Amino acid sequence: MNYKDGTACKSPPVVLIKDTSGMTWNGDKDDISLYGTPKEEMIPGLSEAKVPSFMRSQIEALFQPSDNKLAMKLFGSKKALMNERLRQKESGLLIIHPCSTFRFYWDLCMLLLLVANLIVLPVAISFFNDDLSTRWIAFNCLSDTIFLLDIAVNFRTGIMNPDLPEQVILDPKLIARTYMRSWFFLDLISSIPLDYIFLIFNQDFGENFQILHAGRALRILRFAKMLSLLRLLRLSRLVRYVSQWEEVYMHSLATFSDKRGFIGFLTRIPGAKKFLNMANVFMKIFNLICMMLLIGHWSGCLQFLVPMLQGFPANSWVAINELQESEWFEQYSWSLFKAMSHMLCIGYGRFPPQSLTDMWLTLLSMISGATCYALFLGHTTNLIQSLDSSRRQYREKLKQVEEYMAYRKLPRDLRVRIGDYFEHRYQGKFFNEDTILDELSERLREDVINYNCRALVASVPFFANADTDFVNSIVTRLKYEVFQPGDIIIKEGTIGNKMFFIQEGIVDIVMINGDVATSLSDGSYFGEICLLTNARRVASVRAETYCNLFSLSVEHFNAVLDMYPLMRRTMESIAAERLNKIGKNPSIVCPERDLQCDLRAVSELLTLSAQSPSEDSESEISIFRSRQLQEIGLKRPKSESCFSRFTNNGTELNVLRVDPSLQRSETFFQSVAAGLAAAHEASHTTHQ
């Protein structure tokens, strides 16, 4: 085996390596089977048999990309993740991968510290006037140190390449250059304790010129306060971290890509997906509310800070409210109330502004409040609308249709029918199904269509007994259509360009004289004769109830039946029988000789039957007049039982009840033969 540099190496020792996910794998075996990673690349340096110390390997594992959601989203597969681990190892010591466990917990801690800072800092700056208590200094020192450490960590953390997100920048020099060019200065300014540095310098200076500069100490302290406001620039980090978390973790919550753990468990509970989807939206709204409250909090602090820096002039709102000497919490409460009143455009607080500064402050908080409010409303409306977009689309569509009907001044009954049609066809939700299916891969599209048509396939005997490939090729070409009661689906004498399968509903086959020859229902099909013969429609077909049909165009019909000639024969035989029943010449679909031969074959099979049930199937045709049936509350007619299945207990062989001339396909013959065999066997067992 050769390494990239060409040095030959002996077979490496077997080393068990534990990755960050806790997965143990064998450096010598299984690597290809598990991840497909070439052995040469597995563990650089293994040939020297250097086994890293326990501590070192633990630290390295901590810095490596773990198989968390962010990593899986970026790299897509475990194999790619393993390659990324190798790349990270090669990039040098103490390089932290952005998808590592360490970075995850570090970001989490930083997030908490940031929130604490952004809430506590403005209060401390504004209300704890010249108070430099030890607790405050300790808090500031600790957080400043951690934020400085964060900068150091950022210098060692890989950066997502904006052009190639899956290609993380891991080269230390490149990381440093990219970080320096982006957030470094903002992070630095917001982390260096400029206020303390300034105070320390001024302490020496102030001591020397104490007499000359009486009263200057206060100004210095105020300036230090202004400098400490720079810490609020840490907001940029908060926004960065929150958006990264939101993108990765809330996205995976919404798409349920992680099927393990609690989320995985939740997704298996009925209705839980909808709940999680809503939780995702409400989390986003909650984020917005938190952001608004934070800005309100800052604005409140600012309301107090400015008069405080001015030394509370008599016409400032603090002096008017006599709050100069009050408790900090009272001062804060009034400030927040004032800021919120401006921001929500409710009023000016207790009193309108009296001084110019107050007026400008009010103006500022009004503008920021109104902007936030508008953004909040827009975002929230968007989020809530996205909760049920299909229902919203349906309502919009219906509104448009209503406007169209009014514009065209359509008669009332037509409007009612159109409304009913919409309700029945879309059932309150509107999807552009074709576009959705077009965007799927071919395999997925087929699976979805097959799933959608499962009820049809199960109910159409023609499909139930057919080859699965044949069924697949038909169902993927079907188009869903809905007809209302009374609709003429097919008109006799016209040229047809499609046939229909009935998923649900009843249709009447109407002759030229207006007589109903038969009724067909769930699982039947019609309109095929015209496609088989290339002639005109032999009868009219009228919807008796709401009919959910699937249509198949003539091109697709021919394309599929050309591939399955046996199915064409089956269809032809049924078509011949149908023509026979309505008194038309069956030979237009197939030659007389074929028909005779098939009829003979079926008759022979039937005479073989030992116990043919005596009660004959009454022709389903004449007995079904749907309207009458509905009136007297009888069940809807069953579809033609051309391919009825039989039970093998020998007592009920539905297939034998069928008019013998109906069938002649090979499928049918096989079915009959099998049925008869089963019947014979059953009858022998009973006799014995």
Could you list the residues that contact ligand CMP (CB under 6 A)? 490, 496, 509, 517-518, 520, 526-530, 537-539, 541, 578, 581-582
Task: Provide, rounded to whole angstroms, the least separation between the CB of residue 537 and ligand CMP.
Answer: 4
Whichever of 533 and 648 has its CB closer to ligand CMP, that residue is: 533
Q: State the minimum distance, in angstroms, from the CB of residue 654 to ligand CMP.
A: 18
Q: How far is the CB of 584 from ligand CMP (least distance, A)?
A: 8
Q: Are 594 and 576 in contact (CB under 8 A)?
A: no
Q: How far apart are CA 395 and CA 429, in angstroms?
A: 8
User: Smallest distance, Å, CB 559 to ligand CMP?
Assistant: 18
Nearer to ligand CMP, 334 or 526 (CB): 526
Instruction: Name beta bridge partners: 495.
Output: 536
Query: Token pair for residue 478?
Result: 């079907």
Q: Is the dihedral of CA 566, 567, 571, 577 positive or negative?
A: positive
Q: Which is nearer to ligand CMP, 126 or 639 (CB)?
A: 639
Write out the H or E segment, with its range, that includes residue 638: none
CB of 284 to ligand CMP, least distance (A): 54
Least distance between ligand CMP and beta carbon 495 (Å): 10
Q: Nearer to ligand CMP by C-beta: 150 or 620?
A: 620
How many C-beta atoms surround the C-beta of residue 107 within 10 A?
A: 20
Amino acid at 582: I
Q: How far is the CB of 588 from ligand CMP (least distance, A)?
A: 10
Q: Which residues, other chains included, contact 224 with Cβ-Cβ below 8 Å and sequence gap of 6+?
A: 195, 196, 198, 199
Find the residue with minimal CB distance to ligand CMP: 530
DSSP 402-429: HHHHHHTT--HHHHHHHHHHHHHHHTT-
Nearer to ligand CMP, 59 or 554 (CB): 554
Smallest gap from Cβ 399 to ligand CMP, in A, equals 38
Left if phi > 0, otherwise alpha if psi is -120 to 50, otherwise beta: which for 427? left
Quickly list DSSP for 19-42: -TTS-EEESSSSHHHHH---HHHH
Cβ contact 277:316 at 8 Å: no
Q: φ, ψ for residue 84 (rounded to 5)? A: -65, -35
- The rounded distance, in Å, linking the Cα atoms of 208 and 202 is 10
Q: Provide, rounded to whole angstroms, the least separation between the CB of residue 516 and ligand CMP.
A: 10
Based on CB atoms, which residue is closest to ligand CMP, 199 or 579? 579
Q: What beta strand segments (E) does 15-102 contain?
A: 16-18, 24-26
Question: One-letter amino acid identity for 135?
Answer: R
Q: Is 167 helix (H, G, I), strand (E, B) or coil?
A: coil
Nearer to ligand CMP by Cβ, of 238 and 530: the residue is 530
